[in-house]
Amino acid sequence: MSAAPAVLTNVELLRRVRDDLKALLSDAPTRGYLSVAGTLRRALEMLATPPQGLFVVLLWDGERNVGTSPLSGVVEHTWSVFVSQTAELNITPDKEVLDVTGPGNKPSLLDRVNVVRDRIRSLLFPEDISSSYVSYVGGSQVFDSQEAPLNSFRLQFALQSALPEVAYRDAYAE
Distance of alpha carbon 1 from alpha carbon 7, whole angstroms:
17
Distance of alpha carbon 67 from alpha carbon 109, whole angstroms:
38
Flag whether pLDDT at 85 surpasses 80.
yes
pLDDT per residue as tens digits for the range 94-145: 555 555 666 666 788 888 999 999 999 999 988 887 888 999 999 999 988 8
Any bridge partners for residue 98, and if so which? Answer: 91
Residue 122 contacts residue 138 (beta carbons within 8 Å): no
- Return the ∠ at Cα 118 (arms to 12 and 64), rounded to 5°: 45
* pLDDT band at residue 88 using 50, 70 and 90 as cut-offs: low
Q: Which domains does the chain have, with CATH numbers?
A: 10-162 (3.30.2000.10)
